[in-house]
């Protein structure tokens, strides 16, 4: 792996992975170089798409997950790299930088490039696949020379609250570098295929065995949920600008007998802005292993997403996760939920509070419908993270072979 020298560079809810679903990946065909992922998400925050995919890569080779730098509150620290080992041997790399570099992006990127270059040289990383989740990582990585570059575009980050203004320009640069572009859903694919000639849609998938635990009647009820009355209407996920808090508050007001259970960390929004009805229960963040037990106690699961620019391109992983748990689902009209789940009548779709409440009432009965359960399981049998991962690998191997 050719590396430029640092002088040439001018321009954290803990989770554990389910073992059962990942074990299947060991039987799949795989042969790739080391993989270096540049991500904006902390590995230990929420177990989602990056962790599902990269923990599978790590069963077959070395994987290095580069997080955003950690800036110290003083200038006493010298730039250095923290290395943490996670599931299946994934190495999480975090550059530690002095406070003075926070205001100098170019210098911070140069420092990160320097510590990463030294680590790769010391670790014998001579060739690697560069795997990006954020175009903003180009600042610290553009001088590396990977043998293959993949942009796994799981979200339209430029439309998220607080997105850097230069993100769209960086994404265009990444499109020029990328050999392959994967997207986290069909709606996002329809946008990105116009910008890259080798884009592929890989919608959110499912670890059926893990979430299927919620169907076990012997699964113990979590203590902080046990005292909440039924019917319980649940949501899990990051509580941020994508959650329609007005819809949540109106539903709770309109249906005081329903208990709304909200699981997830609150980020980027003021917790004081959340509705505080007595029948809304905020239980905080839970780790991935705990989620089936909470789902087991819900009567209906919801995707309470606002209809705004931050949700225009999302493909919620929780849709198949809810269904695998055997919970009927009601969602706002997110395009990648309507297609295919709404079209197949597996998920109820509604937007305004009155219609959403009516949809929940339908879903409360749908959970008892054997035909709905059969159709749901037939659809879920067609998707898995193992299949998604293998199809990604196949495309990567073809592109590598074409370069030889």
- Tens digit of pLDDT for each residue in 197-245? 999 999 889 999 999 999 999 999 999 999 999 999 999 999 999 999 9
Q: Helix crossing, 385-403 with 49-57: angle to 10°?
A: 60
Cis omega (within 30 of 0) for bond into 16: no
Cα dihedral across residues 331, 278, 227, 223: positive or negative: positive
> Does residue 152 sit in the same domain as residue 218?
no
pTM: 0.82
What is the C-alpha separation between 400 and 142, in angstroms, rounded? 20
User: Do 126 and 257 belong together in one domain?
Assistant: no
Note the pLDDT of residue 18: 42
CB 214 within 8 A of CB 292: yes
Give the separation between CA 159 and CA 116, rounded to whole angstroms. 29
Residue 101: what pLDDT? 97
Query: Residue 77 is part of a domain; what is its CATH number?
Result: 3.40.50.2000
Alpha helix (H) residue ranges in 82-104: none
| Residue 299 belongs to some domain of the structure | yes
Residue ranges making up the domain that contains 365 = 208-380
pLDDT at residue 30 in the model: 67
The two three-digit tokens of residue 166, written as one number = 């230069």
Biggest CA–CA distance in the chain, Å, is 65
- Cα–Cα–Cα angle for 353, 358, 363, rounded to 5 degrees: 120
Summarize pLDDT for 353-369 with one digit per residue, the tens.
999 999 999 999 998 89
Do 225 and 119 share a structural domain? no
Q: How confident is the model at residue 29 (pLDDT cuts 50, 70, 90)?
A: low
Is residue 341 assigned to a domain? yes
Based on the domain organization, do 233 and 367 belong to the same domain? yes
Mean pLDDT confidence for 3-23: 34
Average pLDDT, the chain: 90
More confident residue, 164 or 278: 278
**For position 49, what pLDDT does the model report?**
93
* Same-domain status, 215 and 199: no
- pLDDT tens, residue by residue, 40-72: 989 998 888 999 999 999 999 999 999 999 999
Identify whether residues 188 and 39 lie together within a single domain: yes
Residue 319 in any domain: the answer is: yes
200 and 288 both lie in a single domain: no
**DSSP state letter for 74:** S
The pLDDT assigned to 28 comes to: 55
Residues of the chain above pLDDT 90, percent: 80
Q: What is the pLDDT of residues 266-317, one digit of tens each?
A: 998 999 999 999 999 999 999 999 999 999 999 999 999 999 888 888 889 8
How many H helices and E strands in the chain?
Answer: 15, 15
- Residue 10, in any domain of the structure: yes
Indicate whether 139 and 237 sit together in one domain.
no
Q: How many domains does the chain have?
A: 2
Q: How far is 347 from 349, CA to CA, in rounded Å?
A: 6
Report the C-alpha gap between 52 and 206 in whole angstroms. Answer: 9
Q: Judge if 311 and 191 occupy the same domain.
A: no
Q: What is the pLDDT of residue 273?
A: 96
How far apart CA 355 and CA 339 sit, in angstroms, is 19
pLDDT at 3: 34
Does 1 reside within a domain?
no
383 or 4, higher pLDDT? 383
Domain shared by 232 and 134, yes or no:
no
Q: Is residue 67 part of a domain?
A: yes
Query: Higher-confidence residue: 8 or 35?
Result: 35
Give CA separation, 102 vs 68, 109, 118, 166, 206, in Å: 12, 10, 22, 17, 38
Position 332 in a domain: yes
Taking the C-alpha atoms of residue 92 and residue 55, their distance in angstroms, rounded to an integer, is 12
| 325: Cβ contacts below 8 Å, ≥ 6 apart | 211, 212, 213, 214, 215, 292, 295, 296, 301
Confidence band for 5, pLDDT divided at 50, 70 and 90: very low
The pLDDT value recorded for residue 19 is 40
Q: Which residue has the higher pLDDT, 165 or 80?
A: 80
224 and 171 co-located in one domain: no
Residue 166 has pLDDT above 90, yes or no: no
Residue 219 lies in a domain: yes
On the question of pLDDT at 344 being above 50, the answer is yes
Does one domain contain both 10 and 141? yes
For range 101-105, the mean pLDDT: 95
């Amino acid at each position: 792996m050719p590396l430029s020298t640092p002088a040439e560079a001018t321009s954290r809810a803990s989770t554990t992975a389910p073992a059962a679903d990942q074990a299947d990946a060991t039987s799949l065909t795989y042969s790739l170089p080391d993989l270096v992922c540049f991500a904006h998400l902390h590995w230990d925050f929420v177990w989602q798409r990056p962790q599902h995919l990269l923990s599978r890569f790590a069963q077959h080779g070395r994987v290095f997950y580069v997080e955003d730098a950690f800036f110290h509150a003083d200038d006493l620290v010298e730039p250095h790299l923290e290395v943490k080992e996670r599931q299946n041997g994934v190495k999480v790399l975090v550059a530690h930088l002095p406070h003075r570099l926070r205001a100098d992006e170019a210098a911070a990127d140069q420092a990160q490039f320097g510590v990463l270059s030294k680590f790769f040289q010391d670790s014998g990383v001579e060739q690697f696949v560069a795997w990006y989740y954020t175009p903003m990582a180009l600042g610290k990585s553009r001088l590396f020379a990977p043998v293959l570059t993949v942009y796994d575009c799981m979200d339209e980050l430029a439309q998220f609250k607080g997105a850097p203004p230069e993100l769209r320009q960086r994404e265009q640069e990444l499109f020029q570098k990328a050999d392959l572009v994967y997207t986290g859903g069909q709606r996002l694919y329809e946008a990105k295929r116009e910008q890259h000639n080798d884009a592929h849609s890989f919608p959110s998938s499912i670890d059926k065995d893990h979430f299927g635990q919620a169907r076990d009647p012997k699964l113990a009820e979590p203590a902080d949920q046990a005292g909440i009355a039924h019917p319980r209407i649940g949501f899990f996920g990051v509580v941020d600008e994508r959650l329609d808090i007005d819809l949540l508050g109106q539903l709770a007001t309109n249906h005081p007998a329903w208990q709304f259970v909200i699981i997830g960390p609150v980020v980027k929004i003021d917790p004081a802005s959340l509705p505080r009805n007595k029948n809304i229960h905020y239980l905080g963040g839970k780790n991935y292993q705990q989620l089936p037990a909470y789902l087991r106690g819900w009567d209906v699961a919801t995707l309470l997403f606002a209809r705004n620019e931050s949700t225009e391109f999302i493909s919620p992983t929780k849709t198949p996760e809810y269904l695998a748990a055997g919970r009927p689902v009601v969602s706002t009209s997110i395009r990648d939920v309507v297609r295919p789940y709404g079209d197949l009548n597996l998920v109820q779709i509604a937007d305004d509070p009155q219609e959403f409440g009516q949809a929940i009432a339908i879903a409360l009965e749908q959970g008892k419908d054997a035909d709905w359960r059969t159709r749901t399981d037939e659809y879920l049998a067609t998707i898995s993270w193992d299949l998604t991962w293998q199809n990604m690998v196949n495309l990567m191997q073809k592109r590598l072979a074409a370069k030889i």
